[in-house]
Structure 1
Amino acid sequence: MIKVSPISRRTFILFLILFSVEVTFSLAQSSGSEKPLRLFMIGNSFSQNASKYLPELSKEGGHALVIGRAEIGGSSLQRHWDHAEAAERNPDDPQGKPYNGKSLKTLLSDGVWDIVTIQQASILSGDVETYRPYAQKLYDYVKKLQPNAKVVFHQTWAYRTDSKDFSRIATGDSAKSAEQMWAKSRAAYHTIADELGIPIIPNGDAFWKINSSSKWAYHKDDTFDSKQAKSPALPDQTHSLHVGYRWDKDKLAFDSHHANAAGCYLGGLVWYSFLFRESPVKLTFKPDEVDTDFARQLRKVAWKTVKKEKKAKIK
């Protein structure tokens, strides 16, 4: 009979404990019991666009995610704050409950949120003065209600290069091109983010990375005459990240602001990269409308853009 020393016995027992813990942890991961990341967005249609495919991407990546929303189409930082202030003055004031009859305070107080995002309305995004003092007020309000939440700026994107209007860059002055809109908007977001000491989700940079690429950028179809067009004819809009031209019944519509399926996909990839700190390059989900090669490039650009932003903040 082989005798086992006390030291060997203790070592063997410790091994069993560690093995059991490892197995339990592995089973917990495989069963999807990861604690959900709770994300709350204070935004507008641009946050809706950018997060459209985030649930599918998160699921494929094995990350549990809960999303809360306080969104109003076209809403600026000031408008969100004005509604919050109205609710503080009088909880029964309808002006304080614009989110399907609920106030920002009510929505933010629903559980514990890990990350809360804010953003400026795209049309004002190039004018840094429109952020003050409302970004600071919203930041303070969020931290009062959710002291442990990380407040993050969601950087919105420039309009399509053939847009007929671009964002305000100063009182009485507007950007003259998509590139100027991106540059002014980027500068404004970074200025206020530095003042607040918060990170940025660089969707605007990712969009411009594609829109300024010699290979992947959208180029206006000069053969298309919008005034003479008949349904269902549309221009070549290959690699567009924006809705662009579409037929609404018998009327030709043009939306150079909002993201189409490819833009929403890129937005979701940027959010995924930022939230989970991992590359989305190997993910396979993509919207049916997005070409396989283009989708692959969007995944690469999203990850590179987020890494570049994080690296810049570390310096």
Structure 2
Amino acid sequence: MLNKKGGSKMKKVWMVLLLVASFGILASCTEAEEVIDEGPDSIDILVNGLQGEGTLESPYILEINLGETIEKHVSITGDYDSLEYLFGTVEDGKFVVDETTKNIHFNERSTDEYLSVVGETRGESMLRIKGKDMSSSAYVAVNTISRDGLTDNVKDYNQSLKILAIGNSFSEDAMTYLGEIFADYGMDHVVLSYLYIGGASLETHWNAVSNGTSSYRYEKNVDNDWENKGNKSLLIGLLDEEWDVITMQQASGKSGLPDTYQPFLDDLVNYVTENKLTDTTFMWHQTWAYSQSSTHSEFPNYGRDQITMYEAIINANQNLILNHESFRQIIPAGTALQNVRTSSVGDNVTRDGYHLNVYGRYVAALMWFRTITGFSIDDITYKPSTVTDQQLLIAKEAVNNAYQQMFETTASIYQ
């Protein structure tokens, strides 16, 4: 029989055991919650245009150069409040958060549905994209490298930049004032060129390559001076310089018709990839909708409606180009010009209903500069002599808004 003192000791022992057991139960619950992860698995996240499945075992693969920008469309199915982005490593088959591995940063253009990232430091990291308070995730294996594969040198466009456009008269329109804008910014070592076949579609370009014809008018701008180099083949243009950026586009009337892109787009991309001289960034030139009064023969494809045509071009960009693994960025010239049309300028950016006039060309060139370099246009003072100070403000507003929202029109404050 226990005395009171012994009984008191026994009670203390039982209390300690109960506390230990309680903590054990709590700990096991905590461990179970960690296995379950942050919450319910209720959304699907797809990053389009990257190889891989997006799982931890088979992540999407993103290889990016230091200083380079890559943009991809993110498709999300299900309800969620917001996304969060975690950097880390994979250990024993599990994702472990480690922000010190972060090797990219998010461009100001990034949204939940549009991933825009810039290579920041060399190295590898695993990016986990997930719904906040959810376990649903997409995993992206990010490898940031330098262009020479050895150093931490970032390509400095202030030192040198070489751009080649494969297109038609719409490429000429967009590049006409580009040299002056680069010079105004203080960039002296810039080479601009375009390979031009009038009205050329992707199919036309591929036929020219397949037949080995010298059917391109080759225009080149060195030291802000355009020179006609005569008729050349696409191959001669590719081999002429170590191009930093190569742009492509669809013919304007077919830009909003997705069925006209393939297989010619892939054929052309593969040919350029095989023959370019250096590690080149591919960009897509987004063309513009025709003026509402346009008499272009392909305008009926869009019911002779400018908004219908613009939306069709945007749809093709989102579904074909953002999802294409070769294209790093889209130059949203079409959206910039559509933004201008909401201002006091109105529908007065073309000279014949589809080719750009002086002002339209200036807006397109600003958009090319802003997208390709990532540099601000706020301090640009150059403008063609016929462009007013008010129109300069409208152009900058339209371009900056298109840079932020490339797939939708933003109304101008200048009415």
- Answer whether contact 1:126 1:167 (CA < 8 A) is retained: no
Larger Rg: 2
Secondary structure at the residue paired with 1:161? coil
Amino acid in the other structure paired with 2:186? G
Task: Report the aligned-residue RMSD.
Answer: 2.2
Q: 1:163 aligns with which of 269, 278, 294?
A: 294
Partner of 2:232: 102
Partner of 2:346: 218
Task: Output aligned runs, 1:1-315, within 5 Å.
Answer: 34-63=158-187, 64-87=189-212, 95-99=213-217, 100-146=230-276, 148-165=279-296, 167=298, 173-197=301-325, 198=327, 199-211=329-341, 213=342, 215-218=343-346, 240-243=348-351, 255-309=352-406
What's the offset of the Cα at 1:279? 1.7
* Larger RCO (alpha carbons 8 Å, 6+ apart): 1
Secondary structure at the residue paired with 1:288? coil
Secondary structure at the residue paired with 1:259? coil
Amino acid in the other structure paired with 1:161? Q
Distance (Å, rounded) in 2 between the aligned partners of 1:98 and 1:287: 28
- Answer whether contact 2:302 2:308 (CA < 8 A) is retained: no
Secondary structure at the residue paired with 1:41? strand
How far does the alpha carbon of each residue in 1:268-298 deviate from its partner, in whole angstroms, 9 at most, with x for none? 1001101110121221111111121011110
Secondary structure at the residue paired with 1:69? strand
Secondary structure at the residue paired with 1:153? strand
How far does the alpha carbon of each residue in 1:161-202 deviate from its partner, in whole angstroms, 9 at most, with x for none? 222347468xxx433311111110121122221232322100
- Answer whether contact 2:287 2:333 (CA < 8 A) is retained: yes
**Which structure carries more strand by proportion?**
2
What's the offset of the Cα at 1:111? 2.4
Distance (Å, rounded) in 2 between the aligned partners of 1:289 and 1:168: 29
TM-score (norm 2): 0.54
Amino acid in the other structure paired with 1:191? N
Distance (Å, rounded) in 2 between the aligned partners of 1:164 and 1:108: 35
Sequence identity percentage:
28
Secondary structure at the residue paired with 2:390? helix
Structure 1: stretches of 5+ with no match in the other structure: 1-32, 88-94, 220-239, 244-254, 311-315
- Answer whether contact 1:166 1:174 (CA < 8 A) is retained: no
- Answer whether contact 2:238 2:275 (CA < 8 A) is retained: yes
Distance (Å, rounded) in 2 between the aligned partners of 1:166 and 1:204: 19
Distance (Å, rounded) in 2 between the aligned partners of 1:134 and 1:48: 22
Structure 2: stretches of 5+ with no match in the other structure: 1-156, 218-229, 408-415
**Which structure carries more helix by proportion?**
1
Distance (Å, rounded) in 1 between the aligned partners of 2:340 and 2:216: 35
Distance (Å, rounded) in 2 between the aligned partners of 1:104 and 1:41: 11
Amino acid in the other structure paired with 2:174? A
Distance (Å, rounded) in 1 between the aligned partners of 2:303 and 2:245: 31
